[in-house]
Amino acid sequence: MIKSILFTLITLLVSFRLEAAMVRVTGVTDGQTLVVERGGVAVPVKLAGIQVIDDQGARSLLKWTIGASWVLLDEQPDGGSFVYRSPDGLFLNRELVARGFARATLPGIEAPTHVVVTYLGTLYAPAAPPAPKSPTASGTGSARSSRSPARPSPSRRRRKP
């Protein structure tokens, strides 16, 4: 009983410590700075881990991608924030790098350049030789078809004059 209460208390304390801020974006200042509303006050937020190469393109991408939506801010100790769009979790810092508008300055921002695959065997196996055909392979022993002849459709029937 005491162990379960202690476990619940520790879990609650850890979960309160790991919270991140969900805020609404109110504008885009430049390709690396967003303006968010925090507590009724407009606050500038700089994107962490990137160096913008094309400011105009980055600004356009940010306006088009997030506009005035909600984002999750993961503040970094070196300053700036990792920004994730809500509700789909698009990592905006990585998106700017992937689209060529910025360069990654921190590890983990740049998308992996190789695809991880699992080897499942030979892709193209050699084809098996065709089986020889015999006249009695059908099993009926007759050359007559077992299907009944098809009836002509009503449009093909001729009317007698």
> What is residue 17's predicted lDDT score, i.e. its pLDDT?
45
Which domains are assigned to the chain? 20-104 (2.40.50.90)
Model-wide pTM > 0.75 = no
Residue 153 pLDDT > 80: no
Both tokens of residue 131? 């089986």
> Which carries the bigger pLDDT value, residue 129 or residue 54?
54
> What is residue 139's predicted lDDT score, i.e. its pLDDT?
53
Question: Please, which contacts does 127-130 make with residues 24 or more away whose CB atoms are closer than 8 Å?
Answer: none
